Structure 1
Amino acid sequence: MSTVEKIQELKKSRAALESSGKAARERISMVLDPLSFVEIGAFVNHRSTDFNMVSQDTPADGVVTGYGTIQGRLVYVYSQDASVMGGAVGEMHARKIAKLYEKALEMGAPVIGILDSAGLRLQELTDALEGYGAIYQVKAKASGVIPQITVVAGMCAGGETLLPGMSDFTFMLEKQSKVFVSSPNAMEKGTKEEDIAGAKVHGAKSGMADFVCEDEADCFAKVRTLVDLLPANNAEDAPVYEDMDDLNRVSEVLDSIVPEDGEGFDVRGVIGELADNAIFVETKADFAPGMVTGFVRLNGGTVGVVANNSAVEDGILTIAGCRKAAGFVAFCDAFSIPILTLTDTAGFAASVQEENGGLADAVSKMTFAFASATAPKINVILRKAYGSAYVTMNSKHIGADVVYAWPTADISVMNSVSAARIMFAKDVEAGADLSEKAADFEVLSSPYAAASRGYIDDIIEPALTRKHLLVALGMLISKRQEGPAKKHGTIL
């Protein structure tokens, strides 16, 4: 065969590959910069001989892998091809993903996985199981070293579900994403796929989905936005962009955002006023809405925000809310992203369901996440800061670097009226008026009392909060904190 003929054969083979994996490659092109994708392992095929697999062609073995750029920054990406045996994961399919991860670790770049798979390739038996194990192992190795982002673009079942579960951020599509460990057929009679698998379930109930998107175009645009906020690895800082917002901007809206009647308010309004250009990328928006998490830019740099949302049950701490906050804080700390907390909580959820479900355990995990984090930590107490719930919310008592309070802050073991009733229970039984005692307690609960003891660093005008944050972040940029020598903590 002549050289010309060999080149023609190559072109024909590549065209066949690209035709087979058209959808997978189109998804990659949607997330990466135009014409930046470089494929790796295009000609990999299975090597199984069982169950008539010898005659079965598996182009790229059902997964397109390679690298490219997002906003000019290197990322690695793989996209499963549902047209090849339903995207089922076999030995070589898994090996391609694992090798991609190893290369991403060497280069210190994020990995984006686009899932669309029926699950394990049954024909390959234990070879396929070994493949899953190789992926799990390298994902564990990469955790906290490089960002891992997963997009569930179609089916994700059985062992495949560990891939989004072991990722830092998971995107799901409203209509086409399905994630379930066990088939509805294996559950109690009447169980439907929509009861356990869809984006609605994992966005609001399980909390697995960090972002629920309308369609693929919306999804991949949001993936690009998220990657743009994150560092490439744990040894680098997140990118800092020229801030087009006014560094001296004063937000008079914040001076009146706390309701006079004591009612709750949506903390997202505060976050928007603080953020550069009012842009807030919220994570797990539908899961545990009483705790708000997400990313903003301040002076062009990325900051992670954890905030109590008093518009939802007075901002009380719940199992789901603490889980949400703990995971987010752990991610920010792993990648040295500054953490900003906005505190406004009336305490803990009081119910049998929460206690039986492990509220104490969940709060402990969140407290550990805050207390052990060495990234810059700033707390702004907006209003209610009651009891142990306040202590756990990144207070000075567990290691916050800078703590500010608005003059509306109420820092106490509980609200003044309830405290007076407990302390002077006998007087209550006698019908005494406790308004004066409650007023005394309220004075001791003011931010000035906490400031006099050094528990907060400054009481600030709400309108000037953004300016104070920028100054504090500038001071904390060189923070270095070393803890005792240990392998890792045991509170997981």
Structure 2
Amino acid sequence: MSTLQKLSELEAHKVAILNGYDEEAKKAALDKGKLTARDRVTHLLDENSFVEIGTFVTSKTFTCKDQKVNTPADGVVCGYGTVEGNLVYVYSQDPTVLGGAIGEMHAKKIAKTYDDAIKMGAPVIGFIDTVGLRLEESIEALNGYGMIFNKMSKASGVIPQIAVICGDCAGGVSFVAGLSDFTFMSTKNGKMYLNSPNTLEDKNASFDHVATANVHLRESGLAVWGEESEQVLIGKIRELLTYLPLNSEQETPCLNCMDDLNRVDSSLNDFDFDVRQISEIIASIVDNGMYFEVGEHYGAKVFTGFARMNGATVGFVANKEEAMDLAALQKTTQFVSFCDGFNIPIVTLTNIKYIESTVATERLGIIKAASKLAFAFANATVPKVNVILKEAYGTAYTLMNSKHIGADYVYAWPTAQVSTMNSESAVKIMYEEALQNAENPAELMQEKVKAYEEEHSSVYAVAGHGYIDDIIEPAATRKRVIAALEVLYTKQVANHLKKHPTV
């Protein structure tokens, strides 16, 4: 056979693979507004950058209902390409091939993708659209699950991992989302659950109660972003990737900053906390007012997200409300841990009075959740800058990247109050008997509050104890934070010898 004939044979094999899907399954997917597995990859990567790996892989001896079944690419498209010129690895499950079910060779392709990504130090993005395990492959399919979980665990903290739930993500496959750093989800077609609703003890349970994007964006916190259109969803993934380093050994991306480093915003000098939003402060101080919020709807009492200052990526944590609840604590802990793992400096904007607890959250372990947040900030070795905006009370303030648990630089606006609790409550406790016996309790209360604030909660008193490095003009927040981050660029921390933390 001549070389031309061999090339013709090769082309015929490729065409057979590209067209080997189930026509009815493809039509059903397109009718739902889904992209094909290959189109998802094409939309994610830069034009003409995709290189497929394992194109000719297929199931070894696969039969379904005693019939031989063709499994082109074994139901998952794998390879590498670039996003904005940066290398990424990708796998995309194909629901038109046995519903995207995971078998031995399918899993081996994903595991190979992870091996290559770890060696090359590049992120992995996985498009999940599968009915789950191939029961016909039995223990080999279960071994496939284990291989994937093992590779993801080894990649954690080494390369960024992003899961994209485009369709079904049921049973053990849902652990892929749990092991990923960020999970994006189709609000139209995405369904993620460990056990089907009809197996749960609540007979009124439905997919709407446990599996939809709304559940995971707002209640479980597994998903950080949702969109109805897959194209828009993929666009958001591309945007997020521009903020992230390729791996834990690289510095954060740094773009040419076209914004004035010394820009001031006089509107911050009379910022009305009762009317305006914390996101307005963030937009005011970051480059070009642009930021990427992570997990907006879960733990909504706190902002977590990425922005750029002087062109470099910074992770922001900021209080949206005066309290943090269980969800906010958990979201913040995960975000701080990610930033520390990937060398992203952390800037906190603190305005918090207390940790919000209920009987339910006490039983669910809010104490442990708060402890984990304290550990995350204290353990983080990246540059840490805190700006206290208004109230900062009690242990809640301590948790928010305070000087007490290791912040490198702490600044405060003149509007800040720092204390164990608000002045009125403290005075009522300290002078309860005197207030009860006073001829004019209101006058005594006012006198004691003023004295308490001057001695204990005044921002100047706290700065006098060395817990605030400087009291700054709000308008100048941008340039002061940038200056601090520049100084901290060469920060080094000697770690104590330990295998790993246990919190």
Give the alignment's TM-score, normalised by structure 2.
0.94
1:421 aligned partner, one-letter code:
K
**Cα deviation per residue 1:356-406 (whole Å; 9 max; x = unaligned)?**
221111100100000000000000000110001111110001000010000
In 2: Cα distance, 1:356 partner to 1:427 partner = 38
Deviation at 1:318, TM superposition (A): 1.2
**Cα deviation per residue 1:182-207 (whole Å; 9 max; x = unaligned)?**
00111121211111111111000000
Identity of aligned residues (%): 48
Instruction: Tell me which of 212, 228, 234 is aligned to 2:248.
Output: 234
Instruction: Tell me which of 170, 174, 179 is aligned to 2:192.
Output: 179
Question: Which runs of structure 2 are paired with 1:319-468 in the superposition (5 Å)?
Answer: 319-430=326-437, 432-433=441-442, 434-443=445-454, 444-468=456-480
After TM superposition, the runs of 4+ consecutive aligned structure 1 residues lying more than 4 A away are 49-54
Deviation at 1:266, TM superposition (A): 2.1
In 2: Cα distance, 1:453 partner to 1:398 partner = 15
1:11 aligned onto 2:18: no
**Cα deviation per residue 1:258-307 (whole Å; 9 max; x = unaligned)?**
34xxx475211111111111111000100011111000000100000011
Question: Which runs of structure 2 are paired with 1:237-316 in the superposition (5 Å)?
Answer: 237-259=251-273, 263=274, 265-310=276-321, 314=322, 316=323
What is the SS of the residue equivalent to 1:207? coil
Deviation at 1:20, TM superposition (A): 4.1
In 2: Cα distance, 1:145 partner to 1:200 partner = 30
What is the SS of the residue equivalent to 1:297? strand
Question: Which runs of structure 2 are paired with 1:182-201 in the superposition (5 Å)?
Answer: 182-187=195-200, 188-201=202-215
Deviation at 1:58, TM superposition (A): 0.4
**Cα deviation per residue 1:120-178 (whole Å; 9 max; x = unaligned)?**
11110010000000000010000000000111111100010000110001101111111
Aligned to 2:118: 105
In 1: Cα distance, 2:492 partner to 2:324 partner = 30
Are the structure 2 counterparts of residues 390 and 53 from structure 1 closer, same or farther at C-alpha, using a change threshold of 3 Å? Answer: farther
In 1: Cα distance, 2:412 partner to 2:228 partner = 39
Deviation at 1:212, TM superposition (A): 1.3
1:258 aligned partner, one-letter code:
D
Deviation at 1:350, TM superposition (A): 3.8
CA contact (8 A) 1:265 1:309 kept: no
CA contact (8 A) 1:75 1:112 kept: yes
In 2: Cα distance, 1:155 partner to 1:50 partner = 23
CA contact (8 A) 1:305 1:339 kept: yes
CA contact (8 A) 1:386 1:412 kept: yes
What is the SS of the residue equivalent to 2:147? helix
Deviation at 1:437, TM superposition (A): 0.3
Deviation at 1:53, TM superposition (A): 6.4
CA contact (8 A) 2:326 2:357 kept: no
1:490 aligned onto 2:497: no
Q: Which runs of 5+ in 1 are unaligned?
A: none
In 2: Cα distance, 1:379 partner to 1:230 partner = 22
Question: Which runs of structure 2 are paired with 1:156-171 in the superposition (5 Å)?
Answer: 156-171=169-184
1:34 aligned onto 2:47: yes
CA contact (8 A) 2:129 2:167 kept: yes
Aligned to 1:77: 90
Greater Cα offset, 427-436 or 270-279: 427-436
Deviation at 1:244, TM superposition (A): 1.5
In 1: Cα distance, 2:495 partner to 2:66 partner = 54
In 2: Cα distance, 1:362 partner to 1:108 partner = 31
What is the SS of the residue equivalent to 1:48? coil
CA contact (8 A) 2:303 2:320 kept: yes
1:116 aligned onto 2:129: yes
Aligned to 1:479: 491
CA contact (8 A) 1:18 1:25 kept: no
CA contact (8 A) 1:48 1:54 kept: no
Q: How many residues align?
A: 484
Are the structure 2 counterparts of residues 280 and 160 from structure 1 closer, same or farther at C-alpha, using a change threshold of 3 Å? Answer: same
Deviation at 1:50, TM superposition (A): 5.7
Question: Which runs of structure 2 are paired with 1:49-64 in the superposition (5 Å)?
Answer: 49=62, 51=64, 55-64=68-77
In 1: Cα distance, 2:259 partner to 2:336 partner = 26
What is the SS of the residue equivalent to 1:229? coil
Deviation at 1:54, TM superposition (A): 6.7
